[in-house]
Amino acid sequence: MNAILLIKIKNIINYFITGIIIFLIKIHHGNKNNSTLLLIRLDSIGDYILLRNFLKVVRESEKHKKYKITLCGNSIWKDIAEEFDKEVIDEFLWIDRNKFYNSFIYKYRFLRNIYNKGFEVAVDTTFTREILYGDSIVKASNAKVTIGSEGSPEKHAGWKRRLLTDKYYTRLIPASENNLFEFFRNKNFFEALLGEKIELKKPDFPKLKKENFYSFDKPYVVIFPGAAESSRRWDTANFSEIVKFVIKRYDLIVVIAGGNRETEIANSVITGLDVRGIANLSGTTSLLQLIGLIQNAEVLISNETGAVHISAAVNTPFVCISNGNHFGRFNPYPDEIFDKGYYVYPPAIINQMDDREHLSRLYRFGSNLDINSVDVSSVNSILGKLLNKNDRIKNNF
């Protein structure tokens, strides 16, 4: 059976079973707790980074400053949210997306917990709402007031939300049809939600504790060669060439970073290389330690992942290799937010960079361009300009 068709069938089954679960949960009468607010955000680390500063705005707003605020979030960014947002969030509820999709027992228990808490207000803060995740949690909350975004206008999912789940909401906040960078999209949403002007200019992180920093005997660069989707992963052989370029030319350590699932990718990058001057930390760092690692780096070289958004938030220059996926929404960073981010795209995009509106229309909802059409020399050229400024060239080069 075609893999895409199989996924569609599984999604349909999941949708109907979720409906049954919510029906069974709601058979028992639940209490309503006034002045309680549920905020929902279940996407990836980069999405959280572009959201998190608005949580404090909600906490301090006239509308919700006296509310008990609960954040329902993706467990992959639990550590950093509980570190950075504990002063503005009263309670965290963490969801394992994989279990929520695949285990109906887990889903039942999670949704029952949501229902039993009796939230007065539930808000899905996601622009591209997900029927099987945020929308289902909103329905299960049985909140008196339920708010979400009208959502992304992409054809393959927009009509499904309008048909199936828009009715779960008492209010849908209109979304601009312009292709906005996600930080600005969030800003528009929260301004409409709170009914007040928000002065935030960019995402950022507070200073980290010393235990979250790694100590090296000289300056270093960070290479992050992983990515969740294969279409967004530059070949490891290309990253190997970057490692050799940096070690040969600059008096710097090369640190390879990544999560537990990316150790094989990291090992592939350094296979056959002289390991002197290389520190492979992939799979060994917590999320907080990764932030500290990027914060003190000379530069980050990465595929388009959450690491790039971390880099912008901690003011570390980055070079991002991207196939242009979601151009305009998540890349490139607008200069007014961060002007030290450098993107290297396939030639089809590079050759049209003087017409970003056109590129935004072409690649707003995705890109099928081959990321490996990005040339190593293009990345090295940008790295050279960044690192030469810092006078890191080896004397014997």
Assigned domain for 274 exists: yes
What's residue 208's pLDDT? 83
Q: What is the mean pLDDT of the chain?
A: 92
> In terms of Cα–Cα distance, which of 245, 312, 226, 341 is closest to 46?
312
Give residue 389's pLDDT band: very low, low, confident or very high (50, 70, 90): low
How many angstroms separate the CA atoms of 253 and 247, rounded? Answer: 7
216 and 149 in one domain? no
48 and 135 in one domain? yes
Q: Does residue 68 surpass a pLDDT of 80?
A: yes
Alpha helices in the chain (DSSP H): 3-26, 45-49, 53-60, 78-84, 97-102, 104-116, 134-141, 155-164, 182-194, 236-249, 263-270, 287-295, 306-313, 347-350, 356-363, 376-389
Assigned domain for 247 exists: yes
What's residue 33's pLDDT? 86
Could you tell me what percent of the chain has a pLDDT over 90? Answer: 79
175 and 86 in one domain? yes
Give residue 96's pLDDT band: very low, low, confident or very high (50, 70, 90): very high
248 and 186 in one domain? no
Which pLDDT tens digit goes with each residue over 200-245? 999 988 888 887 888 888 999 999 999 888 889 999 999 999 999 9
How many angstroms separate the CA atoms of 7 and 157, rounded? Answer: 14
Cα–chain center distance at 37: 23
221 and 187 in one domain? no
Average of pLDDT values for 177-197? 95
Assigned domain for 296 exists: yes
Assigned domain for 51 exists: yes
Assigned domain for 261 exists: yes
Average of pLDDT values for 370-394? 86
Provide the domain count of the chain: 2
291 and 231 in one domain? yes
Q: Does residue 290 surpass a pLDDT of 80?
A: yes
240 and 111 in one domain? no
Which pLDDT tens digit goes with each residue over 121-161? 999 999 999 999 999 999 999 999 999 999 877 666 678 88
248 and 329 in one domain? yes
How many angstroms separate the CA atoms of 289 and 285, rounded? Answer: 6
Average of pLDDT values for 163-181? 93
220 and 94 in one domain? no
What's residue 160's pLDDT? 86
Assigned domain for 313 exists: yes
How many angstroms separate the CA atoms of 317 and 331, rounded? Answer: 15
pTM of the model: 0.92
What's residue 217's pLDDT? 87
Give the range of the structural domain holding residue 292, as residue numbers without chain letter.
210-389
CATH of the domain at 299: 3.40.50.2000
Average of pLDDT values for 290-300? 95
Which pLDDT tens digit goes with each residue over 253-287? 999 999 888 899 999 999 988 878 899 999 999 99
190 and 84 in one domain? yes
Assigned domain for 396 exists: no
- Those residues whose C-beta lies under 8 Å from the C-beta of residue 274, and which sit 6 or more positions away, are 247
